[in-house]
Amino acid sequence: MKRTLKLALSAVLGAALVTPALAQDNFPDVPDNHWAYEALLRLKSNGLLVGYPDGLFRGARPASRYEMAVAIHATYVNLKNITDGLQKQIDELKGQVGGNTGSGDTQNLKTALENLQSEVGGMKKWGDDVAALRRLTDTFQKELQDLNVDVEKMKTDLKDLQDRVTVLEKVKPAISISGDANLWVGTGAGLEGNGGLNKDGRFVGAQTTGGVVRETSFFQDLAILHEGAFKFSTTNEMGPKFNATLVAGNMLGGNAQRGAFFNQGLPGQGTYYFEQAGQDVYFQDFSVKFDSAVAGLGFNAEIGRVGYKISPMILQRPDFTSYFANDRWDNGKYLFDGGIATLGLGKAKVDIFGGRNNRRFSTNGVEINSYLFGSSQNPLNFSPDRSAGVNASLALGNVGNINVAYLVFDANNPAPINATNFNRVQVIGADATFKVGPVSLAGGAAQTELKRNEKSRLNDDNGSFYVKGSLGGDRYGVTVGYKQVENNYFAPGDWGRLGIVRNPTNIEGFFGNGHFNLSDSLTLRGGAMILEGAKTFAGAPVGSFGTNTDITRFDLGLDYKLSSNFSVMLGFEQTEFENVVGVAGKPKYRWYNVGFGYGIGDNAMLKIGYEISDHVNDYQTLGFGSTSPTGRYQGGFFTTQLSVKF
């Protein structure tokens, strides 16, 4: 903004101003928490208030009220001249455009338009300054009138200017660009001649020779991964809205023994290191959303590459990246190329969705988001080509919600199971939640069925259910419940982890978790499960559960917030198995964790973590053809993540 007030503003705008109630011409200093202090400094920094002709601001000197009035009026005149000048430019450009036959010099017109756009854009920053000037005008109204200033016209002009600035502030660019960038460093080292095993079932600080896992050093295990995501969104309030997220980095992909994070749906169990994959690019989502109405019903539709989830027991993508925190990877949504249509009537809502589930490749040919059905230890050999579903929910006032879903996943080629084959997985389930005061109740049940077209192939021991209750207060929260997941339950959900197994089946028993705020900065948290095998099957494979199987799991954690931007976390987790089919002894998993988080401004976070794994008789990795020479898996795993949002 032009600085045109050097002669007009001879007033001193002090760092200490008097309250409007004081009437003397010269007033003493007052504390700098007066509302006008910051306002006047901001006006000066934006070029509206200049100070003395010698360039000094002299903020510590008391100013007379008449000096203040002169400064305020001069600032108003300057703003008025600028806005009148902009209007003159607009009128001149209209004349040029109207008289342009197409053969003239368009470069001058283009330059003038760019200059005008820049000056008008700069007005968006005037909002606080104009508001401050209006308050100053009210405060020094008497002195302005003594200077023969038309105060009422000045107030009217300032209000009009503020309204125009408000309109400008609401103007958005056609496309909004945001996103995040992440740098991840991970490395492991074995202990006591053994390699370690992290919670995602990946060997750390380990190498294999002849099928035997052995110790390696931090230097040998080092991996440096990076990824950037750019989200493009249209800003229009009416009409179709477009969203797309373009991702580039070396985290996606990997081979049978090494790799980064594979994709956003499959575990990396039984793999070594976190070696960076090749540089890759892919669209995580790419869709257009429409809002409309059908027969008086609220209606919207989203078409393209979209994501959807329902609940952990029915449809929710597991998080196989426990050591990498990112909303896009951890949101639990399964991706598909198709559409989601939503109908709403009052408190009821129905989602109808469907599309293609495979052949969504990155530029390197990596499937972006595979579907996992059932357990990660013994997944169902099924890769759907298409899916469709209906999810209906009903809000019960302010006290609860009921949700019912029906899903169908279909493949072109049959998959074998139990000496037969199938090409379809069907899921039907329901959830309900209720809350009254500090008490919450929830429950759900679901069932899966394997089919060959319309003919049932597996419809036994295929259900699940859970119930739980929660009690919460200002400083605490506790949840207890009971669940059962039968052996042939194959929903693509995310219902828990035992050791390194995600979505365990053929289990039943109790679970609970809670937290207690010891102080405003210190929180104690913990959880426990006491489970057993739900059923014994003749000829059950090694590593499966039977009615004699007992499983106990517990975890403890302590979170300490040292300051608003620095926190520390301590954690311990143990899972123990007894009487696992074909496994001697009591396999036991233990992890010890320490983590640090440091906020770097409002949009960046640095996280550092270190984990020690100490497992006895790790039967669950036998399926990957690797064993430990001592029957133990011990190692340290160090991770660092720098995340920046923009």
* 3-state DSSP of 157-226: HHHHHHHHHHHHHHCCCCEEEEEEEEEEEEEEEEECCECEECCCCCEECEEEECCEEEECCCCCCCEEEE
pLDDT at 217 over 50: yes
- The answer to whether residue 28 sits within a structural domain is no
Q: Same structural domain for residues 338 and 454?
A: yes
Nearest to 171 by CA among 233, 243, 123, 131: 123
Establish if 403 belongs to a structural domain.
yes
Please report which confidence band the pLDDT of residue 465 belongs to, taking 50, 70 and 90 as the band edges.
Answer: very high
The pLDDT of residue 621 is 53
3-state helix, strand, coil split of the chain in percent (to 5) is: 20, 45, 35
Residue 7 belongs to some domain of the structure: no
Domain that holds residue 272: 175-645
Q: Across-strand partners of 533?
A: 507
pLDDT for 238 beyond 60: yes
* Total structural domains within the chain: 2
Q: Pick the last residue of a domain from 113, 135, 170.
A: 170
Judgement on whether residues 379 and 308 belong to the same structural domain of the protein: yes
User: Do the Cβ atoms of 447 and 429 come closer than 8 Å?
Assistant: yes
pLDDT score for 16: 27
Instruction: Answer with the residue of higher pLDDT: 584 or 491.
Output: 491
Rounded distance, CA 549 to CA 583, Å?
11
Based on the domain organization, do 228 and 187 belong to the same domain?
A: yes
| Total count of residues recorded for the chain | 646
**Mean predicted confidence (pLDDT) in 592-599:** 96
In a domain, 251, yes or no: yes
Instruction: Please write the tens of the pLDDT for every residue from 182-215.
Output: 999 999 888 888 888 899 888 888 776 666 666 7
- The predicted pLDDT at position 14 comes to 31
Tell me, yes or no, whether 490 and 538 share the same domain: yes
Structure tokens at 431: 């959830």
Note the pLDDT of residue 243: 95
Task: Tell whether the model's pLDDT for residue 416 goes beyond 70.
Answer: yes
**pLDDT value of position 156:** 81
User: Looking at residue 540, what DSSP letter applies?
Assistant: P
Q: Given a cut of 50, is residue 624 above it in pLDDT?
A: no
Rounded distance, CA 591 to CA 576, Å?
A: 12
Q: What pairing do the DSSP bridges indicate for beta strands 259-262 and 280-294?
A: unpaired
State the CB neighbour count (10 A cutoff) for residue 394. 15
253 versus 476: the higher-pLDDT residue is: 476
Of 148, 170, 192, the position where a domain reaches its end is 170
Nearest to 81 by CA among 44, 47, 34: 47
CB 50 within 8 A of CB 71: no
CATH number of the domain residue 271 falls in: 2.40.160
Between 157 and 607, residue with greater pLDDT? 607
In one-letter notation, the amino acid at residue 592 is Y
Q: Are residues 181 and 155 in the same domain?
A: no
Cα distances (Å, whole numbers) of residue 141 to 9, 76, 150, 166: 18, 13, 10, 24
Q: Same domain for 56 and 143?
A: yes
- 6-15, 205-214, 390-399, 410-419: range with highest mean pLDDT: 390-399
Last residue of a domain, one of 170, 199, 232: 170
pTM of the model: 0.74
Query: Is the confidence at residue 108, as pLDDT, over 90?
Result: no
Supply the pLDDT for residue 7: 31
Q: Which residue has the higher pLDDT, 606 or 275?
A: 606
Residues 355 and 492 in one domain: yes
Is residue 376 included in any domain, yes or no?
Answer: yes
Note whether residue 62 is domain-resident: yes
Give 534's DSSP letter: S
Taking each helix axis as running N to C, give the angle between helix 151-170 and helix 127-139, from 0 to 180 degrees, rounded to the nearest 10: 160
CB 27 within 8 A of CB 72: no
- Whether 3 maps to a domain, the answer reads no
Same domain, 152 and 187: no
Return phi, psi of residue 407, to 5°: -130, 145
Q: CA-to-CA distance for 460 and 451, rounded, in angstroms?
A: 12
pLDDT, one tens digit per residue, over 285-342 is 999 998 876 556 678 999 999 999 999 999 999 988 899 999 999 999 999 999 999 9
pLDDT for residue 26:
29
Q: What is the DSSP string of 284-344?
A: EEEEEEEEEEETTEEEEEEEEEEEE---TTTS------TT---HHHHS-PEEEEEEEEEEE
Domain assignment present for residue 396? The answer is yes
One-letter amino acid of 265: G
pLDDT at 38: 56
Same domain, 164 and 220: no
Instruction: Report the pLDDT averaged over residues 480-489.
Output: 96
Share of the chain above pLDDT 90, in %: 43
Is 229 in the same domain as 153? no
Q: Is the predicted pLDDT of residue 29 greater than 60, yes or no? A: no
Question: What pLDDT, on a 0 to 100 scale, did the predictor assign at position 517?
Answer: 96
Residue 644, CA atoms < 13 Å, CB-side half-sphere: 7
Residues 126 and 196 grouped into a single domain: no
**549-576 average pLDDT score:** 96
Categorize the per-residue pLDDT at 540 as very low, low, confident or very high, splitting at 50, 70 and 90: confident
Q: What's the pLDDT score for residue 620? A: 62
Angle at 324 between CA 322 and CA 329, to 5 degrees: 90
Euclidean distance between CA atoms 524 and 560, whole angstroms: 9
Please tell me the predicted confidence (pLDDT) of residue 84.
66
Structure tokens at 215: 């110790």
From the CA atom positions of the chain, what is the Rg in Å? 33
Average pLDDT value for the chain: 80
Q: Note whether 585 and 561 are same-domain residues.
A: yes
Q: Which of 413 and 243 is assigned the larger pLDDT?
A: 243
Top pLDDT among 641 and 361 is at 641
Would you say residue 13 has pLDDT above 50?
no
